[in-house]
Structure 1
Amino acid sequence: MDKQYLNRITYTKDLINKADYIVIGAGAGLSASAGIQYGGQRFTDNFAPFIEKYGLTDMYTSGFYSFPAEEERWAYWAKHISLNRYEVGPTKLYENLLQLVKKANYFVITTNVDSQFELADFPPENIFEVQGNYGNLQCAKGCHHSLYDNKLLVNEMIANRENCRIPSNLVPQCPECGGKMDPHLRINPYFVQNEAWNKSNDAYDCFIDESKGKNLLLLEFGVGFNTPGIIRYPFEQMTYQNEHTKLIRFNMEHPNGPKENREKTIAFTEDILSVLLELNK
């Protein structure tokens, strides 16, 4: 272990111990580091029939693919949801992250939709899933604010899939308007922000307000530039504006931030799980 890395580990441990408030900001890179990858072998192993039929290249872009029929769209989405929400289970990385902060005063804001924080036993009241959750469906036009658990339906779709299609009677329809339904993901302007979403948003805002003037530590994991306005830019702004705020950034590809924050930021480009294991020693 080189001295520079050891110094960063030691300093980070000290910041965690001294923090009055800790905010975890999690992007796609955190789940990718946990093994929930949207491309490569994990994609080809699980979606071979769809790749052959439609020429799909990865799970991210496939989510925006225009399938010819709802029976085909839901055949794909059933497997996508099942693989990333119901089949993967809790991961060692998220469990080690909980171990790191469980005695602290913390809150989680995440753009991930795979429930990994919940599966690792983070308290739901301490989690704000900004972009939705794979486990729910909504009206595709957002005609009302109810969400619908999809686990049983997803399992039934997968069990009855044939030639990249599901039976027409399994295609979900909105119980209010009779129209199409979507996974509860922020993929268009009709994303449903219901009472539970607003409650989580308010809880996060309240946590940030309470941290002002206190020792606030921002732990940012795997946040790139897909939706930087949700976590990355606000974290950098808080670091710049607040005297007692420090930022720890875990990011292999985009570790650098504004030069004004250089003295208040520590960056780890190493494997996230390896760093967490070291921090937990």
Structure 2
Amino acid sequence: MTFYEKLVLQSQQSFQNNYSTYSQGKTPIKLSTKQPDNYETQIKKFSKMFNDAEYVVIGGASGLSAAGGGDFYYTDTPSFYENFGKFSKKYGFKGAFAGMRYPFPNRETYWGYLATFLNTTLNASIRQPYQDLAAILNDKDFDIVTTNQDTQFIKSFDEAKVSEIQGDHRFFQCSNACTDDVWDATESIDQMIKAMGDDTQIPTDLIPRCPRCGAEAFPWVRGYGNFLEEKKYQAEYAKISNALLSHQGSKTLFIELGVGRMTPMFIQEPFWTLSYNLSNANYISVNRDSAFLPEQLENKGLAIQNDIAKVLHDVRNQIVEVKNDK
């Protein structure tokens, strides 16, 4: 088991032991009661902490993609109707995740919806927060760990720098887990979309199946079934683990972007543990809804509760301004 996965498992145990607290959108960790600075001061502090760091670790979660317009997951936003309107009109659900749980009349319709969902994320342009983040990280030593499966990080950065620890929409796996292998899903998704056209279901023979045993496939993403935690999964954890271990002596800045309250165990709490235990580490959290700063990190951390897209845009401008002044 890799170093970072051990941190995640420790956090998962805490989540299970304190589920009633987490379910209320809270944390069992004692938080700082220190009054936050005004927004302009926070942006200047963010920029200084970033410029002073020798190494940066980005933790990107769903709030980051939502800030850039990928906000169709939970409710009936304009982007939801734009991408899933024909399904919503016919079946009445609101929000892409509600479609995942909808009892479609057959597998052909289920896959028509799922192909639409995957096609939407895989073909989305690089969202502005990711563009700003790429500009901020330019010329910096960095690595990224993400629970996002929408491939925005892969489109924006060298894949060797990105650890996708909760799967990736580009891949299918066997629903029976008869093999440790995952395989490319993009060609199959394209075929389903073309064959479906304006309808809401695909031909039966296009339902993706395992090339080894013939069982139905599903995306290599946690939440669809027996998510494979084998070769590719371990490789993703190894990337971030090895990167962290190779930078143990560096002045490190952990930046957490958009972690929700249902999944603090994959990025947020491991970042807290690392920031506290590494003497040369600092921590920044940016979240629209709840930017938590543990009491133990109040002298080496910063929590900004604001729109992530705005914060990254303003930090980008601040860093450019500082560079121009030098």
TM-score, normalisation: structure 2: 0.79
- 2:22 aligned residue: none
Q: 1:101 aligns with which of 137, 159, 169?
A: 137
**Match for 1:53 among 80, 85, 90?**
90
Whether the 8 Å CA contact 1:256–1:267 is kept in 2: the answer is yes
Quote the offset at 1:220 in angstroms.
Answer: 0.6
Partner of 1:23: 57
CA contact (8 A) 1:24 1:218 kept: yes
Cα offset, 1:114, TM superposition: 1.0
- Residue 163 of structure 1 deviates from its aligned partner by 4.2
2:219 is paired with a residue whose SS is: strand
Alignment of 1:13-92 (within 5 A): 13-38=47-72, 39=75, 40-86=77-123, 88-92=124-128
Distance 1:191 1:35 in 2: 27
CA contact (8 A) 2:173 2:217 kept: yes
What per-residue deviation string (whole Å, max 9, x for no partner) do you get for residues 228-273 of structure 1? 1100111112222223221111101011232222222212223223
Aligned to 1:157: 192
Kept in 2, the 8 Å contact 1:224–1:232? The answer is no
CA distance in 1, matches of 2:288, 2:307: 8
- Runs of 4+ that moved beyond 4 A: none
1:184 deviates by 1.3
Comparing 26-35 and 150-159, the one that deviates more: 150-159
Give the TM-score taking structure 1 as reference length: 0.91
| The 10-residue stretch of structure 1 (134-143 or 147-156) with the greater mean CA deviation from structure 2 | 147-156
Which structure 2 residue ranges, 5 or more long, are not aligned? Answer: 1-36, 321-326
Q: Percent identity?
A: 28
Give the C-alpha shift of residue 194 in structure 1.
Answer: 4.4
Q: Using the alignment, how far apart are the partners of 1:158 and 1:189 within structure 2? A: 23
1:178 aligns with 2:214: yes
Match of 1:212 among 248, 251, 265: 248
Q: Which letter maps to 1:13?
A: S
Deviations 1:29-56 (A, max 9, x none): 0000111112312112322232233332
Match of residue 269 from structure 1: 305
Amino acid of the structure 2 residue aligned with 1:32 = A
Cα distance in 1 between the residues matched to 2:290 and 2:158: 29
Amino acid across the alignment from 2:46: T
Does structure 1 retain, via aligned residues, the 8 Å contact 2:293–2:302?
no
Please show how residues 180-195 of structure 1 align to structure 2 within 5 Å. Answer: 180-188=216-224, 190-195=226-231
Deviations 1:157-204 (A, max 9, x none): 122226421111111111111111101111155212343432231121
| Partner SS state of residue 25, structure 1 | strand
Structure 2 letter corresponding to 1:158: I
Cα deviation, 1:63-120, whole Å, max 9, x if unaligned, reads 233433211110000110111111x122222111011112111110000011111212
Please say if residues 139 and 174 of structure 1, whose CA atoms lie closer than 8 Å, have aligned partners that are also in contact: yes
Q: Report how far residue 277 of structure 1 moved.
A: 2.5
Aligned letter for 2:115? A
Matching of residue 6 in structure 1 with residue 40 in structure 2: yes
**CA RMSD, 1 decimal:** 1.9
Instruction: Output the amino acid matched with 2:86.
Output: P
CA separation of 1:61 and 1:240: change in aligned 2, threshold 3 A: farther
Letter in 2 for 1:155: D
The correspondence for 1:147, drawn from 182, 201, 214, is 182
Deviates most, 123-132 or 10-19: 10-19
Q: State which of 238, 248, 270 in structure 2 corresponds to 1:234.
A: 270
| Total equivalences in the alignment | 277
| C-alpha distance in 1 between matches for 2:191 and 2:303 | 44
Aligned to 2:31: none
